[in-house]
């Protein structure tokens, strides 16, 4: 097995790209894929400041590292979600990454700064944990980016994540979600731009990238997400990919190239694309209601007895 670039011994084979690489040229390949995604989808201009949402997992630490390698001004932001040891350990990986490299990492904790945590919110609202978790993340990413004057928020969503979400949305022809599934969501109504620079790289590549770059990350998945639908869609796509390398890439990127625009009518038809929003009376964030969904969650969970983490018994199955 020889490196495509230098013909030296290769350490990884990428069947979807019909290529093998040595460590040095694999890193160069990853940088090139991110640079291509940024350029093609106009994610960032060279002088823009980006806030990277880091969970302590491989994807978000890798995207932070890659953006810095490509010369962008990138700071980190981590949210303590209060999901037991999992959250503490994952936050610590983010802190260690930043400390060793002398980077700026902003932090917030749901419990310390907002009075609740994900397990307690799930119990109070009687919904799956990922719903309070996703709502809190979106709100706090937006707020941190605007307060810090960042031009965009970057997340570590990779090709496997995006293909799995697309698969789920296409299975049900969920046209509203299909219309919004873009690698860039432009800034609007006081929300910052959102970008996903890893859409050309998969899970396996990101794990290899971290190992080669010496990036330590939390390997476990969130204990509250165990058994959720996306994990099953990923398994299904992996089975197809094994038989037919490149399928995942084609499925997602051909969707963007040929199909995504067909769904824009839905965006315009919903509140997602409509005119100016008001401001939340509590926190000032853009909101179509007097009080935004996050502040309502803070209100509902105030004073609730904290719930300690329990493994979910497949509530989302
Ligand atoms: P997930 O929703 O867990 O798949 O995470 C998607 C992306 O959200 C990750 O790649 C990170 O960029 C970001 N993210 C997830 N958890 C956190 C967290 N606790 N703090 C900051 N960013 C996070
Ligand atoms: Fe959000 Fe697990 S990371 S519920
Ligand atoms: Zn090489
Ligand atoms: Zn609010």
Q: Look over the chain and give the mean of its residue pLDDT values, rounded to a whole number.
A: 92
204 C-alpha vs ligand 3 centroid, how far in Å? Answer: 19
Edge-to-edge, what's the strand order for the sheet holding 152-154?
105-109, 73-80, 49-53, 152-154, 193-195, 184-185
On the 0-12 / 13-18 / 19+ scale of CB atoms within 10 A, 248 is buried
| Shortest-distance Cα residue to atom 10 of ligand 1 | 156
42 C-alpha vs ligand 3 centroid, how far in Å? Answer: 29
Partners of 73 in beta bridges: 49
256 C-alpha vs ligand 1 centroid, how far in Å? Answer: 23
The predicted structure's pLDDT at residue 297:
97
Nearest ligand, measured from the Cα of 294: 4
Name the stretches of the chain with pLDDT < 50.
265-274, 311-317
53 C-alpha vs ligand 1 centroid, how far in Å? Answer: 6
The predicted structure's pLDDT at residue 314:
42
Pocket test for ligand 2, best of 128, 133, 309 (most atoms within 8 A of CB): 133
% of the chain surpassing 90 pLDDT: 86
Question: Is the CB of 222 within 6 Å of ligand 2?
Answer: yes
Partners of 20 in beta bridges: 13
303 C-alpha vs ligand 4 centroid, how far in Å? Answer: 18
Give CA 261 to chain center in angstroms.
22
Q: How far apart, in Å, are the Cα atoms of 32 and each of 69, 81, 156? A: 11, 33, 16
Rounded to an integer, what distance in angstroms lies between the CA atom of residue 154 and that of residue 64? Answer: 8
Q: Give the atom of ligand 2 at the shortest distance from the alpha carbon of 130.
A: 4
| Shortest-distance Cα residue to atom 14 of ligand 1 | 55
pTM for this entry: 0.94
Nearest ligand, measured from the Cα of 91: 1
Tokens of 46: 């060279």
Question: Is the CB of 118 within 6 Å of ligand 2?
Answer: yes
The predicted structure's pLDDT at residue 270:
38
223 C-alpha vs ligand 2 centroid, how far in Å? Answer: 8
Task: Please write the tens of the pLDDT for every residue from 193-252.
Answer: 999 999 999 999 999 999 999 999 999 989 987 767 788 999 999 999 999 999 999 999
């Amino acid at each position: 097995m020889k490196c495509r670039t230098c013909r030296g011994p290769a350490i990884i084979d990428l069947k979807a790209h019909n290529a093998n690489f040595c460590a040095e040229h694999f890193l160069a390949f990853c940088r090139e894929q991110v640079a291509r995604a940024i350029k093609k989808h106009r994610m960032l201009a060279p002088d823009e400041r980006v806030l990277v949402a880091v969970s302590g997992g491989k994807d978000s630490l890798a995207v932070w590292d890659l953006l810095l390698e490509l010369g962008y001004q990138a700071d980190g932001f981590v949210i303590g979600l209060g999901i037991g040891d999992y959250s503490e350990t994952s936050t610590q990986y983010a802190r260690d990454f930043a400390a060793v490299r002398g980077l700026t990492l902003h932090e917030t904790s749901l419990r310390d700064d907002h009075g609740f945590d994900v397990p307690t919110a799930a119990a109070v609202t009687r919904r799956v944990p990922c719903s309070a978790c996703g709502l809190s993340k979106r709100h706090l990413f937006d707020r941190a980016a605007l307060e810090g004057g960042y031009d965009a928020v970057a997340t570590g969503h990779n090709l496997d994540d995006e293909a799995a979400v697309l698969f789920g949305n296409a299975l049900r022809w969920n046209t509203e979600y299909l219309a919004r599934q873009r690698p860039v969501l432009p800034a609007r109504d006081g929300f910052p731009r959102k970008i996903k620079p890893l859409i050309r790289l998969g899970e396996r590549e990101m794990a290899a990238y971290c190992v080669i770059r010496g990036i330590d990350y939390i390997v476990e998945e969130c204990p509250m997400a165990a058994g959720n639908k996306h994990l099953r869609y990923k398994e299904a796509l992996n089975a197809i990919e094994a038989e037919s390398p490149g399928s995942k890439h084609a499925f997602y990127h051909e969707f963007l190239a040929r199909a995504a625009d067909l769904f824009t009518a839905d965006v315009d038809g919903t509140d997602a694309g409509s005119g100016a929003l008001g401001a939340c009376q509590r926190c000032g964030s853009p909101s179509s209601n007097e009080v935004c969904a996050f502040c309502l969650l803070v209100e509902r969970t105030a004073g609730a007895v904290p719930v300690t983490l329990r493994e979910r018994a497949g509530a989302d199955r």
